[in-house]
Structure 1
Amino acid sequence: MIKSAVTIALVPQIKSGPWIFWNDLEKSLEKAAALGFDAVELFTASADAIDPIHFGALLEKHQLQLAAVGTGAGKVLHGLTLTDPDATVRKKAISFISDMISFGAKFGAPAIIGSMQGNVLPNGNREETMAWLTDGLKILEKHEQEKGVFLIYEPLNRYETNLLNTLESAVDFLRKNNLENTKLLADLFHMNIEESDLSASIRDFGGYVGHVHFADSQRSPMGLGHTDMMPIADALRKIGYSGYVSAEAFPHPDPDAAAEQTIKAFRKYFG
Protein backbone atom coordinates (compact mmCIF):
# COMPACT_ATOMS: atom_id res chain seq x y z
CA MET A 1 0.00 0.00 0.00
CA ILE A 2 1.41 3.39 -1.00
CA LYS A 3 1.48 5.79 1.97
CA SER A 4 1.33 9.57 2.26
CA ALA A 5 3.81 11.85 4.00
CA VAL A 6 4.30 15.58 4.41
CA THR A 7 7.53 17.44 5.10
CA ILE A 8 8.40 19.39 8.25
CA ALA A 9 11.49 21.62 8.31
CA LEU A 10 12.91 22.90 11.58
CA VAL A 11 16.02 24.64 10.22
CA PRO A 12 15.64 28.43 9.98
CA GLN A 13 18.56 28.74 7.54
CA ILE A 14 16.63 26.80 4.87
CA LYS A 15 13.44 28.83 5.22
CA SER A 16 13.19 29.31 1.45
CA GLY A 17 13.31 25.60 0.72
CA PRO A 18 10.62 23.19 -0.55
CA TRP A 19 9.01 22.04 2.67
CA ILE A 20 5.36 22.26 3.61
CA PHE A 21 5.37 22.81 7.37
CA TRP A 22 7.84 24.86 9.39
CA ASN A 23 9.07 25.66 12.90
CA ASP A 24 6.38 24.31 15.23
CA LEU A 25 6.85 20.55 15.38
CA GLU A 26 3.84 19.66 17.52
CA LYS A 27 1.46 21.94 15.64
CA SER A 28 2.72 20.58 12.32
CA LEU A 29 2.18 17.00 13.48
CA GLU A 30 -1.31 17.92 14.65
CA LYS A 31 -2.15 19.42 11.25
CA ALA A 32 -0.68 16.44 9.35
CA ALA A 33 -2.76 14.02 11.41
CA ALA A 34 -5.93 16.06 11.01
CA LEU A 35 -5.56 16.01 7.22
CA GLY A 36 -5.05 12.26 7.19
CA PHE A 37 -1.37 11.92 6.33
CA ASP A 38 0.24 8.62 7.27
CA ALA A 39 3.63 10.03 8.14
CA VAL A 40 5.98 13.00 8.20
CA GLU A 41 9.41 13.53 6.67
CA LEU A 42 11.64 15.53 9.00
CA PHE A 43 14.45 18.02 8.40
CA THR A 44 16.38 19.12 11.48
CA ALA A 45 19.64 20.97 12.14
CA SER A 46 21.22 17.86 13.62
CA ALA A 47 20.43 14.46 15.05
CA ASP A 48 20.30 15.85 18.58
CA ALA A 49 18.11 18.86 17.74
CA ILE A 50 15.03 16.93 18.88
CA ASP A 51 14.61 14.71 21.91
CA PRO A 52 13.74 11.30 20.42
CA ILE A 53 11.64 10.30 23.43
CA HIS A 54 9.52 13.44 23.16
CA PHE A 55 9.29 13.07 19.38
CA GLY A 56 8.24 9.44 19.69
CA ALA A 57 5.52 10.42 22.14
CA LEU A 58 4.24 13.06 19.70
CA LEU A 59 4.18 10.56 16.83
CA GLU A 60 2.23 8.12 18.98
CA LYS A 61 -0.15 10.83 20.14
CA HIS A 62 -1.00 11.82 16.57
CA GLN A 63 -0.81 8.26 15.19
CA LEU A 64 1.86 9.16 12.64
CA GLN A 65 4.99 7.43 11.38
CA LEU A 66 8.36 8.92 10.48
CA ALA A 67 8.86 8.34 6.74
CA ALA A 68 12.46 9.57 6.45
CA VAL A 69 14.95 12.10 7.77
CA GLY A 70 16.75 14.61 5.60
CA THR A 71 20.45 15.39 5.99
CA GLY A 72 20.68 18.62 3.98
CA ALA A 73 21.48 20.71 7.05
CA GLY A 74 24.92 19.12 7.02
CA LYS A 75 25.72 21.04 3.86
CA VAL A 76 23.66 24.16 4.50
CA LEU A 77 24.91 24.77 8.03
CA HIS A 78 28.37 23.18 7.95
CA GLY A 79 29.39 22.90 4.30
CA LEU A 80 29.80 19.13 4.54
CA THR A 81 29.65 16.77 1.56
CA LEU A 82 30.75 13.22 0.86
CA THR A 83 32.85 14.39 -2.10
CA ASP A 84 34.79 17.29 -0.63
CA PRO A 85 38.48 17.14 -1.65
CA ASP A 86 39.41 17.51 2.03
CA ALA A 87 39.38 14.09 3.71
CA THR A 88 38.65 15.71 7.07
CA VAL A 89 35.48 17.30 5.69
CA ARG A 90 34.39 13.99 4.15
CA LYS A 91 34.90 12.28 7.50
CA LYS A 92 32.76 14.92 9.22
CA ALA A 93 30.07 14.47 6.55
CA ILE A 94 29.98 10.73 7.18
CA SER A 95 29.74 11.34 10.92
CA PHE A 96 26.88 13.83 10.49
CA ILE A 97 24.90 11.45 8.27
CA SER A 98 25.64 8.51 10.58
CA ASP A 99 24.13 10.42 13.48
CA MET A 100 21.02 11.16 11.39
CA ILE A 101 20.81 7.47 10.47
CA SER A 102 20.88 6.56 14.16
CA PHE A 103 18.11 9.07 14.93
CA GLY A 104 15.85 7.91 12.09
CA ALA A 105 16.43 4.24 12.87
CA LYS A 106 14.84 4.73 16.29
CA PHE A 107 11.59 5.10 14.34
CA GLY A 108 12.35 2.65 11.51
CA ALA A 109 13.03 5.53 9.11
CA PRO A 110 15.90 5.83 6.60
CA ALA A 111 18.12 8.86 6.06
CA ILE A 112 18.20 10.68 2.72
CA ILE A 113 21.42 11.79 1.04
CA GLY A 114 20.58 14.68 -1.27
CA SER A 115 22.69 17.83 -1.27
CA MET A 116 25.34 16.22 0.94
CA GLN A 117 26.45 14.11 -2.01
CA GLY A 118 28.27 17.18 -3.34
CA ASN A 119 29.74 17.79 -6.80
CA VAL A 120 32.75 17.27 -9.01
CA LEU A 121 34.47 20.62 -8.57
CA PRO A 122 35.46 22.68 -11.65
CA ASN A 123 39.05 21.51 -11.53
CA GLY A 124 38.26 18.19 -9.92
CA ASN A 125 38.74 14.64 -11.13
CA ARG A 126 35.43 12.87 -11.73
CA GLU A 127 36.77 9.36 -11.18
CA GLU A 128 38.34 10.38 -7.87
CA THR A 129 35.18 12.21 -6.80
CA MET A 130 32.97 9.22 -7.55
CA ALA A 131 35.38 7.03 -5.59
CA TRP A 132 34.96 9.32 -2.57
CA LEU A 133 31.18 9.05 -2.96
CA THR A 134 31.39 5.27 -3.16
CA ASP A 135 33.62 5.02 -0.09
CA GLY A 136 31.28 7.23 1.92
CA LEU A 137 28.16 5.32 0.91
CA LYS A 138 29.80 1.98 1.76
CA ILE A 139 30.58 3.19 5.27
CA LEU A 140 27.06 4.57 5.68
CA GLU A 141 25.50 1.39 4.29
CA LYS A 142 27.25 -0.62 6.97
CA HIS A 143 25.91 1.71 9.63
CA GLU A 144 22.40 1.49 8.15
CA GLN A 145 22.55 -2.30 8.15
CA GLU A 146 23.60 -2.31 11.79
CA LYS A 147 20.61 -0.11 12.57
CA GLY A 148 18.19 -2.25 10.57
CA VAL A 149 17.24 0.32 7.96
CA PHE A 150 18.32 1.19 4.41
CA LEU A 151 19.99 4.27 2.95
CA ILE A 152 18.33 6.58 0.42
CA TYR A 153 20.32 8.27 -2.33
CA GLU A 154 18.65 11.07 -4.28
CA PRO A 155 19.57 11.79 -7.91
CA LEU A 156 19.32 15.58 -8.21
CA ASN A 157 18.91 17.70 -11.32
CA ARG A 158 21.91 19.09 -13.22
CA TYR A 159 21.59 22.50 -11.59
CA GLU A 160 22.19 21.01 -8.14
CA THR A 161 24.75 18.29 -8.79
CA ASN A 162 26.91 16.93 -11.60
CA LEU A 163 27.24 13.47 -10.07
CA LEU A 164 24.14 11.39 -10.90
CA ASN A 165 21.03 13.00 -12.35
CA THR A 166 18.74 10.15 -13.44
CA LEU A 167 17.43 6.92 -11.99
CA GLU A 168 19.27 4.99 -14.70
CA SER A 169 22.66 6.54 -13.96
CA ALA A 170 22.14 6.03 -10.23
CA VAL A 171 21.14 2.38 -10.70
CA ASP A 172 24.25 1.78 -12.83
CA PHE A 173 26.35 3.35 -10.09
CA LEU A 174 24.79 1.22 -7.33
CA ARG A 175 25.24 -1.97 -9.35
CA LYS A 176 28.83 -1.19 -10.33
CA ASN A 177 29.82 -0.56 -6.73
CA ASN A 178 27.76 -3.33 -5.09
CA LEU A 179 25.81 -0.89 -2.96
CA GLU A 180 23.07 -3.30 -1.98
CA ASN A 181 21.56 -1.52 1.02
CA THR A 182 21.03 1.79 -0.78
CA LYS A 183 17.73 2.66 -2.45
CA LEU A 184 16.88 5.60 -4.66
CA LEU A 185 14.64 8.58 -4.15
CA ALA A 186 12.44 9.27 -7.16
CA ASP A 187 11.93 13.02 -6.80
CA LEU A 188 9.31 14.02 -9.37
CA PHE A 189 10.55 17.62 -9.51
CA HIS A 190 14.11 16.58 -10.39
CA MET A 191 12.81 13.88 -12.72
CA ASN A 192 10.73 16.47 -14.59
CA ILE A 193 14.01 18.14 -15.52
CA GLU A 194 16.15 15.09 -16.24
CA GLU A 195 13.95 12.18 -17.35
CA SER A 196 12.46 11.99 -20.84
CA ASP A 197 9.63 9.76 -19.55
CA LEU A 198 9.02 9.70 -15.81
CA SER A 199 6.68 6.72 -15.74
CA ALA A 200 8.97 4.65 -17.97
CA SER A 201 11.95 5.36 -15.71
CA ILE A 202 9.96 4.27 -12.69
CA ARG A 203 8.87 1.07 -14.43
CA ASP A 204 12.41 0.30 -15.63
CA PHE A 205 14.25 1.05 -12.39
CA GLY A 206 11.49 0.79 -9.81
CA GLY A 207 13.14 -2.11 -8.04
CA TYR A 208 15.61 0.40 -6.65
CA VAL A 209 13.10 3.06 -5.63
CA GLY A 210 12.71 3.36 -1.87
CA HIS A 211 11.09 6.78 -1.52
CA VAL A 212 9.19 9.26 -3.69
CA HIS A 213 9.07 13.04 -3.46
CA PHE A 214 5.65 14.26 -4.50
CA ALA A 215 5.89 17.69 -6.13
CA ASP A 216 4.67 19.17 -9.38
CA SER A 217 6.76 20.43 -12.29
CA GLN A 218 7.71 23.75 -10.69
CA ARG A 219 7.95 22.21 -7.21
CA SER A 220 4.54 23.41 -6.18
CA PRO A 221 2.16 21.00 -4.43
CA MET A 222 1.06 18.31 -6.87
CA GLY A 223 -1.82 19.45 -9.07
CA LEU A 224 -0.69 23.05 -9.42
CA GLY A 225 1.77 22.48 -12.28
CA HIS A 226 1.85 20.49 -15.50
CA THR A 227 3.10 17.07 -14.37
CA ASP A 228 1.05 14.24 -15.88
CA MET A 229 0.68 12.33 -12.64
CA MET A 230 -1.69 9.51 -13.60
CA PRO A 231 0.86 7.44 -15.59
CA ILE A 232 3.40 7.95 -12.81
CA ALA A 233 0.94 6.68 -10.21
CA ASP A 234 0.11 3.72 -12.47
CA ALA A 235 3.83 2.94 -12.82
CA LEU A 236 4.34 2.99 -9.05
CA ARG A 237 1.45 0.58 -8.60
CA LYS A 238 2.74 -1.71 -11.37
CA ILE A 239 6.17 -2.05 -9.75
CA GLY A 240 4.52 -2.89 -6.44
CA TYR A 241 5.82 0.20 -4.69
CA SER A 242 4.67 0.26 -1.06
CA GLY A 243 6.71 3.12 0.38
CA TYR A 244 5.95 6.75 1.02
CA VAL A 245 4.93 9.47 -1.41
CA SER A 246 6.16 12.53 0.46
CA ALA A 247 5.39 16.18 -0.26
CA GLU A 248 8.71 17.96 -0.70
CA ALA A 249 7.18 21.03 -2.27
CA PHE A 250 7.07 24.77 -1.74
CA PRO A 251 4.35 25.81 0.74
CA HIS A 252 2.36 27.73 -1.88
CA PRO A 253 0.21 29.66 -1.37
CA ASP A 254 0.74 28.90 2.33
CA PRO A 255 1.56 25.78 4.37
CA ASP A 256 -2.02 24.86 5.24
CA ALA A 257 -3.27 25.22 1.68
CA ALA A 258 -0.25 23.35 0.33
CA ALA A 259 -0.85 20.47 2.72
CA GLU A 260 -4.53 20.32 1.79
CA GLN A 261 -3.69 20.34 -1.92
CA THR A 262 -1.15 17.57 -1.41
CA ILE A 263 -3.46 15.20 0.44
CA LYS A 264 -6.19 15.92 -2.10
CA ALA A 265 -3.82 14.98 -4.92
CA PHE A 266 -2.58 11.92 -3.05
CA ARG A 267 -6.12 10.63 -2.65
CA LYS A 268 -6.88 11.34 -6.30
CA TYR A 269 -3.97 9.25 -7.56
CA PHE A 270 -3.44 6.68 -4.81
CA GLY A 271 -6.60 6.62 -2.71
Structure 2
Amino acid sequence: MNQNIVFGVSTWLWQSPFTAKSISLFPKIKKMGFDVVEIPLEDPSLIDAEKVKQALKNNGLKPSICVVFGDDKDLTGDDPSLYENCFEHAKACFEISKTLEASFVAGPLYAAVGKARLASEEQRQVEWERSVKNLRTLAKIARSYDLDIALEPLNRFESDLINTAEQVMRLIDDIDEECMKVALDGFHMTIEEQDMVKAIQTVGDKLIHVQVSENHRGVPGTGLTPWADFAKGLAAIDYKGAIVMESFTPENKQLAAAVNIWRKLAPSQDEFAQKGLEFLKKTFND
Protein backbone atom coordinates (compact mmCIF):
# COMPACT_ATOMS: atom_id res chain seq x y z
CA MET A 1 0.00 0.00 0.00
CA ASN A 2 1.30 3.43 -0.95
CA GLN A 3 0.74 5.79 1.98
CA ASN A 4 2.44 8.69 0.21
CA ILE A 5 -0.45 9.51 -2.13
CA VAL A 6 -3.08 12.02 -1.02
CA PHE A 7 -6.21 12.78 -3.00
CA GLY A 8 -7.85 16.02 -3.99
CA VAL A 9 -10.64 17.42 -6.11
CA SER A 10 -10.98 20.58 -8.17
CA THR A 11 -13.75 23.02 -7.32
CA TRP A 12 -14.38 23.11 -11.09
CA LEU A 13 -16.33 19.91 -10.51
CA TRP A 14 -19.05 22.07 -8.94
CA GLN A 15 -18.61 25.68 -10.01
CA SER A 16 -16.69 28.38 -11.88
CA PRO A 17 -15.17 30.80 -11.18
CA PHE A 18 -13.83 30.29 -7.66
CA THR A 19 -15.01 33.19 -5.50
CA ALA A 20 -15.19 34.18 -1.84
CA LYS A 21 -18.36 32.05 -1.57
CA SER A 22 -16.66 28.91 -2.87
CA ILE A 23 -15.29 28.08 0.57
CA SER A 24 -18.78 26.71 1.28
CA LEU A 25 -17.66 23.64 -0.69
CA PHE A 26 -14.83 22.85 1.72
CA PRO A 27 -16.79 21.03 4.48
CA LYS A 28 -18.39 18.72 1.91
CA ILE A 29 -15.07 18.05 0.20
CA LYS A 30 -13.44 17.13 3.50
CA LYS A 31 -16.37 14.97 4.60
CA MET A 32 -16.10 13.01 1.36
CA GLY A 33 -12.55 12.06 2.33
CA PHE A 34 -10.38 14.41 0.28
CA ASP A 35 -7.25 15.96 1.77
CA VAL A 36 -6.56 18.48 -1.00
CA VAL A 37 -8.79 21.02 -2.74
CA GLU A 38 -7.68 22.37 -6.09
CA ILE A 39 -8.44 26.05 -6.50
CA PRO A 40 -8.50 27.42 -10.05
CA LEU A 41 -7.51 31.08 -9.97
CA GLU A 42 -9.54 32.46 -12.87
CA ASP A 43 -10.16 35.92 -11.40
CA PRO A 44 -7.95 36.74 -8.39
CA SER A 45 -10.03 39.84 -7.62
CA LEU A 46 -12.92 37.59 -6.57
CA ILE A 47 -10.88 35.88 -3.86
CA ASP A 48 -10.20 36.91 -0.26
CA ALA A 49 -7.05 34.91 0.32
CA GLU A 50 -7.05 35.28 4.11
CA LYS A 51 -10.62 33.95 4.35
CA VAL A 52 -9.77 31.05 2.07
CA LYS A 53 -6.68 30.29 4.16
CA GLN A 54 -8.76 30.18 7.34
CA ALA A 55 -11.41 28.01 5.69
CA LEU A 56 -8.74 25.55 4.54
CA LYS A 57 -7.38 25.38 8.08
CA ASN A 58 -10.85 24.98 9.61
CA ASN A 59 -11.58 22.02 7.34
CA GLY A 60 -8.17 20.35 7.45
CA LEU A 61 -7.57 20.77 3.72
CA LYS A 62 -4.41 21.59 1.79
CA PRO A 63 -4.60 23.71 -1.40
CA SER A 64 -3.30 23.06 -4.86
CA ILE A 65 -3.45 25.95 -7.29
CA CYS A 66 -4.37 25.82 -10.97
CA VAL A 67 -3.70 28.74 -13.32
CA VAL A 68 -4.39 29.03 -17.06
CA PHE A 69 -3.91 31.80 -19.60
CA GLY A 70 -6.81 32.77 -21.88
CA ASP A 71 -6.89 34.56 -25.23
CA ASP A 72 -5.72 37.89 -23.77
CA LYS A 73 -2.75 36.18 -22.06
CA ASP A 74 -0.31 34.33 -24.30
CA LEU A 75 3.44 33.93 -23.85
CA THR A 76 3.76 32.87 -27.50
CA GLY A 77 1.75 35.69 -29.08
CA ASP A 78 2.84 38.32 -31.58
CA ASP A 79 1.79 41.19 -29.29
CA PRO A 80 4.16 41.78 -26.33
CA SER A 81 1.28 43.28 -24.33
CA LEU A 82 -0.06 39.73 -24.04
CA TYR A 83 3.09 38.77 -22.11
CA GLU A 84 2.60 41.60 -19.65
CA ASN A 85 -0.99 40.45 -19.11
CA CYS A 86 0.42 37.02 -18.25
CA PHE A 87 2.96 38.40 -15.81
CA GLU A 88 0.46 40.66 -14.05
CA HIS A 89 -2.10 37.87 -13.75
CA ALA A 90 0.58 35.48 -12.54
CA LYS A 91 1.73 37.92 -9.86
CA ALA A 92 -1.82 38.17 -8.51
CA CYS A 93 -2.14 34.37 -8.54
CA PHE A 94 1.26 33.91 -6.94
CA GLU A 95 0.35 36.35 -4.18
CA ILE A 96 -2.75 34.33 -3.33
CA SER A 97 -0.81 31.07 -3.58
CA LYS A 98 1.79 32.36 -1.14
CA THR A 99 -0.92 33.42 1.32
CA LEU A 100 -2.50 29.97 1.09
CA GLU A 101 0.93 28.41 1.75
CA ALA A 102 0.95 26.52 -1.54
CA SER A 103 4.36 25.44 -2.81
CA PHE A 104 3.58 25.58 -6.54
CA VAL A 105 1.05 26.57 -9.18
CA ALA A 106 0.12 24.15 -11.96
CA GLY A 107 -1.15 24.69 -15.46
CA PRO A 108 -0.33 25.00 -19.16
CA LEU A 109 1.33 28.38 -18.73
CA TYR A 110 3.53 28.11 -21.83
CA ALA A 111 0.74 29.46 -24.11
CA ALA A 112 -2.91 30.45 -24.19
CA VAL A 113 -5.26 27.49 -23.74
CA GLY A 114 -7.12 26.68 -26.94
CA LYS A 115 -4.36 27.89 -29.22
CA ALA A 116 -4.30 25.00 -31.67
CA ARG A 117 -3.58 25.64 -35.36
CA LEU A 118 -1.68 24.12 -38.23
CA ALA A 119 1.26 26.50 -37.95
CA SER A 120 4.37 26.28 -40.10
CA GLU A 121 7.54 24.81 -38.64
CA GLU A 122 9.08 28.29 -38.76
CA GLN A 123 6.18 29.79 -36.81
CA ARG A 124 6.22 26.94 -34.32
CA GLN A 125 9.92 27.57 -33.66
CA VAL A 126 9.32 31.29 -33.19
CA GLU A 127 6.56 30.59 -30.68
CA TRP A 128 8.65 27.96 -28.89
CA GLU A 129 11.46 30.48 -28.42
CA ARG A 130 9.01 33.12 -27.19
CA SER A 131 7.61 30.65 -24.68
CA VAL A 132 11.09 29.73 -23.42
CA LYS A 133 12.11 33.36 -23.01
CA ASN A 134 8.89 34.42 -21.30
CA LEU A 135 8.78 31.38 -19.04
CA ARG A 136 12.24 32.30 -17.81
CA THR A 137 10.78 35.65 -16.78
CA LEU A 138 7.81 33.90 -15.17
CA ALA A 139 10.22 31.61 -13.32
CA LYS A 140 12.02 34.60 -11.84
CA ILE A 141 8.69 36.02 -10.66
CA ALA A 142 7.72 32.66 -9.15
CA ARG A 143 11.02 32.43 -7.31
CA SER A 144 10.34 35.77 -5.66
CA TYR A 145 7.26 34.13 -4.11
CA ASP A 146 9.16 30.91 -3.31
CA LEU A 147 6.95 28.96 -5.72
CA ASP A 148 7.53 26.28 -8.32
CA ILE A 149 5.62 26.14 -11.61
CA ALA A 150 4.28 22.77 -12.76
CA LEU A 151 3.82 22.91 -16.55
CA GLU A 152 0.98 20.73 -17.84
CA PRO A 153 0.89 19.21 -21.33
CA LEU A 154 -2.52 19.48 -23.01
CA ASN A 155 -4.12 17.42 -25.73
CA ARG A 156 -3.91 18.45 -29.39
CA PHE A 157 -7.34 20.10 -29.36
CA GLU A 158 -6.28 22.55 -26.64
CA SER A 159 -2.65 23.26 -27.53
CA ASP A 160 -0.36 22.91 -30.53
CA LEU A 161 2.78 23.55 -28.48
CA ILE A 162 3.06 20.97 -25.68
CA ASN A 163 1.10 17.70 -25.85
CA THR A 164 3.40 15.04 -24.39
CA ALA A 165 5.76 14.31 -21.51
CA GLU A 166 8.70 14.31 -23.90
CA GLN A 167 7.79 17.75 -25.21
CA VAL A 168 7.33 19.31 -21.77
CA MET A 169 10.72 17.96 -20.68
CA ARG A 170 12.35 19.45 -23.77
CA LEU A 171 10.73 22.78 -22.94
CA ILE A 172 11.94 22.61 -19.34
CA ASP A 173 15.45 21.74 -20.49
CA ASP A 174 15.44 24.79 -22.76
CA ILE A 175 14.12 27.07 -19.99
CA ASP A 176 16.80 25.79 -17.60
CA GLU A 177 15.22 27.11 -14.41
CA GLU A 178 15.14 24.90 -11.32
CA CYS A 179 11.62 25.99 -10.32
CA MET A 180 10.12 24.65 -13.56
CA LYS A 181 8.45 21.30 -12.83
CA VAL A 182 5.74 19.12 -14.40
CA ALA A 183 2.05 18.39 -13.86
CA LEU A 184 0.54 15.44 -15.74
CA ASP A 185 -3.19 15.07 -16.43
CA GLY A 186 -4.43 11.57 -17.20
CA PHE A 187 -7.19 12.89 -19.48
CA HIS A 188 -4.69 14.51 -21.82
CA MET A 189 -2.30 11.57 -21.51
CA THR A 190 -4.89 9.06 -22.75
CA ILE A 191 -5.17 11.10 -25.94
CA GLU A 192 -1.50 11.85 -26.56
CA GLU A 193 0.77 9.27 -24.93
CA GLN A 194 1.65 5.85 -26.32
CA ASP A 195 2.74 4.40 -22.96
CA MET A 196 1.60 5.75 -19.59
CA VAL A 197 4.47 4.20 -17.64
CA LYS A 198 7.10 5.51 -20.04
CA ALA A 199 5.56 8.98 -20.06
CA ILE A 200 5.66 9.19 -16.27
CA GLN A 201 9.21 7.88 -16.17
CA THR A 202 10.18 10.48 -18.80
CA VAL A 203 9.36 13.32 -16.42
CA GLY A 204 10.63 11.44 -13.36
CA ASP A 205 11.32 13.56 -10.31
CA LYS A 206 10.17 16.69 -12.13
CA LEU A 207 6.61 15.47 -11.59
CA ILE A 208 5.08 17.30 -8.64
CA HIS A 209 1.36 17.20 -9.47
CA VAL A 210 -1.11 14.76 -11.04
CA GLN A 211 -4.65 15.41 -12.25
CA VAL A 212 -7.08 12.69 -13.29
CA SER A 213 -10.50 11.99 -14.75
CA GLU A 214 -11.61 9.37 -17.22
CA ASN A 215 -10.70 9.50 -20.90
CA HIS A 216 -14.21 10.94 -21.43
CA ARG A 217 -13.78 13.42 -18.53
CA GLY A 218 -16.13 11.31 -16.43
CA VAL A 219 -15.82 9.41 -13.15
CA PRO A 220 -12.47 7.60 -12.79
CA GLY A 221 -12.94 3.89 -13.38
CA THR A 222 -15.80 4.19 -15.88
CA GLY A 223 -13.81 4.52 -19.08
CA LEU A 224 -10.75 3.36 -20.99
CA THR A 225 -7.88 4.88 -19.01
CA PRO A 226 -5.12 2.28 -18.32
CA TRP A 227 -5.26 2.81 -14.57
CA ALA A 228 -2.98 -0.10 -13.68
CA ASP A 229 -0.26 1.39 -15.88
CA PHE A 230 -0.88 4.81 -14.35
CA ALA A 231 -0.36 3.41 -10.86
CA LYS A 232 2.67 1.41 -12.00
CA GLY A 233 4.26 4.53 -13.49
CA LEU A 234 3.78 6.61 -10.34
CA ALA A 235 5.15 3.79 -8.18
CA ALA A 236 8.18 3.50 -10.46
CA ILE A 237 9.21 7.10 -9.75
CA ASP A 238 8.12 6.95 -6.07
CA TYR A 239 5.67 9.80 -6.61
CA LYS A 240 4.77 11.51 -3.34
CA GLY A 241 2.46 14.31 -4.47
CA ALA A 242 -1.31 14.58 -4.72
CA ILE A 243 -3.67 13.03 -7.23
CA VAL A 244 -6.41 15.54 -7.93
CA MET A 245 -9.66 14.73 -9.69
CA GLU A 246 -10.34 17.42 -12.29
CA SER A 247 -13.55 17.60 -14.26
CA PHE A 248 -16.19 20.24 -14.82
CA THR A 249 -19.81 20.88 -14.04
CA PRO A 250 -22.19 20.84 -17.01
CA GLU A 251 -24.43 23.22 -15.06
CA ASN A 252 -22.12 26.14 -15.82
CA LYS A 253 -22.80 26.55 -19.52
CA GLN A 254 -19.79 28.78 -20.21
CA LEU A 255 -17.40 26.36 -18.53
CA ALA A 256 -19.05 23.32 -20.12
CA ALA A 257 -18.74 24.87 -23.57
CA ALA A 258 -15.08 25.75 -22.98
CA VAL A 259 -14.21 22.11 -22.23
CA ASN A 260 -16.75 20.54 -24.62
CA ILE A 261 -18.86 18.74 -22.04
CA TRP A 262 -22.22 18.30 -23.74
CA ARG A 263 -23.85 15.76 -21.40
CA LYS A 264 -24.03 14.87 -17.72
CA LEU A 265 -21.18 12.57 -16.77
CA ALA A 266 -22.70 11.39 -13.48
CA PRO A 267 -26.12 11.51 -11.76
CA SER A 268 -24.75 14.35 -9.61
CA GLN A 269 -21.45 16.12 -9.12
CA ASP A 270 -21.33 14.90 -5.52
CA GLU A 271 -21.69 11.30 -6.70
CA PHE A 272 -18.98 11.96 -9.33
CA ALA A 273 -16.60 13.03 -6.56
CA GLN A 274 -17.50 10.24 -4.13
CA LYS A 275 -17.38 7.37 -6.61
CA GLY A 276 -14.23 8.74 -8.19
CA LEU A 277 -12.43 8.99 -4.85
CA GLU A 278 -13.37 5.42 -3.94
CA PHE A 279 -11.88 4.21 -7.20
CA LEU A 280 -8.71 6.28 -6.89
CA LYS A 281 -7.99 5.10 -3.36
CA LYS A 282 -8.44 1.48 -4.44
CA THR A 283 -6.26 1.96 -7.53
CA PHE A 284 -3.36 3.96 -6.12
CA ASN A 285 -3.22 3.02 -2.43
CA ASP A 286 -4.02 -0.70 -2.49
Q: What's the counterpart of residue 31 of structure 1?
A: 28
User: Is residue 46 from structure 1 mapped to residue 20 from structure 2 by the alignment?
Assistant: no
> Per the alignment, do residues 25 and 116 of structure 1 end up closer, same or farther by CA in structure 2, a change over 3 Å counting?
farther
Secondary structure of 2:38's counterpart equals strand
User: Is residue 92 from structure 1 mapped to residue 85 from structure 2 by the alignment?
Assistant: yes
For residues 149-187 of structure 1, what are the alpha-carbon distances to aligned partners after superposition, in whole Å with 9 as ceiling and x for unaligned? 200111111111110110011101211331321111111
Q: What's the counterpart of residue 6 of structure 1?
A: 9
Q: How many residue pairs were aligned?
A: 257
Which has the larger displacement, 112-121 or 198-207?
Answer: 112-121
Matches within 5 A, 1:183-262: 183-251=181-249, 252-253=265-266, 254-262=268-276
For residues 221-240 of structure 1, what are the alpha-carbon distances to aligned partners after superposition, in whole Å with 9 as ceiling and x for unaligned? 21111112122112212211
Q: Amino acid of the residue matched to residue 2 of structure 1?
A: I
Q: Which residue, 161, 164, 176 being the options, matches 1:163?
A: 161
Q: What's the counterpart of residue 113 of structure 1?
A: 107
CA–CA separation in structure 1 for the residues paired with 2:35 and 2:25? 13
CA–CA separation in structure 2 for the residues paired with 1:169 and 1:214? 20
Q: What's the counterpart of residue 97 of structure 2?
A: 104
Q: Amino acid of the residue matched to residue 71 of structure 1?
A: V
Q: What's the counterpart of residue 142 of structure 1?
A: 140
What is the Cα-based RMSD across aligned positions, in Å?
A: 1.9
Q: What's the counterpart of residue 12 of structure 1?
A: none
Which has the larger displacement, 238-247 or 23-32?
Answer: 23-32
TM-score for the superposition, normalised by structure 2: 0.84
> Per the alignment, do residues 132 and 181 of structure 1 end up closer, same or farther by CA in structure 2, a change over 3 Å counting?
same
> Per the alignment, do residues 120 and 31 of structure 1 end up closer, same or farther by CA in structure 2, a change over 3 Å counting?
closer
Q: What's the counterpart of residue 59 of structure 2?
A: 62
CA–CA separation in structure 2 for the residues paired with 1:166 and 1:26? 34
Contact 1:144/1:151 (<8 A) preserved = yes
CA–CA separation in structure 2 for the residues paired with 1:97 and 1:255? 30
For residues 177-208 of structure 1, what are the alpha-carbon distances to aligned partners after superposition, in whole Å with 9 as ceiling and x for unaligned? 31321111111010101100112211232222
Secondary structure of 2:95's counterpart equals helix
Q: Amino acid of the residue matched to residue 206 of structure 2?
A: Y
Q: What's the counterpart of residue 181 of structure 1?
A: 179
- How much has 1:85 moved relative to structure 2? 0.8
- How much has 1:107 moved relative to structure 2? 2.2
For residues 34-80 of structure 1, what are the alpha-carbon distances to aligned partners after superposition, in whole Å with 9 as ceiling and x for unaligned? 01101111123322321111101110111101022x223x41xx622
CA–CA separation in structure 2 for the residues paired with 1:144 and 1:94? 10
Secondary structure of 1:210's counterpart equals strand
TM-score for the superposition, normalised by structure 1: 0.88
User: Is residue 266 from structure 1 mapped to residue 266 from structure 2 by the alignment?
Assistant: no
Q: Amino acid of the residue matched to residue 50 of structure 2?
A: I
Contact 1:120/1:129 (<8 A) preserved = no
Which has the larger displacement, 150-159 or 100-109?
Answer: 100-109
Contact 2:182/2:203 (<8 A) preserved = no
Contact 2:132/2:174 (<8 A) preserved = no
Q: What's the counterpart of residue 67 of structure 2?
A: 71
For residues 84-121 of structure 1, what are the alpha-carbon distances to aligned partners after superposition, in whole Å with 9 as ceiling and x for unaligned? 21001121112112221221122232222327613476
CA–CA separation in structure 1 for the residues paired with 2:72 and 2:83? 10
CA–CA separation in structure 2 for the residues paired with 1:146 and 1:93? 16
Q: Amino acid of the residue matched to residue 5 of structure 2?
A: I
- How much has 1:210 moved relative to structure 2? 1.5
Q: Amino acid of the residue matched to residue 95 of structure 2?
A: S
CA–CA separation in structure 2 for the residues paired with 1:155 and 1:22? 23
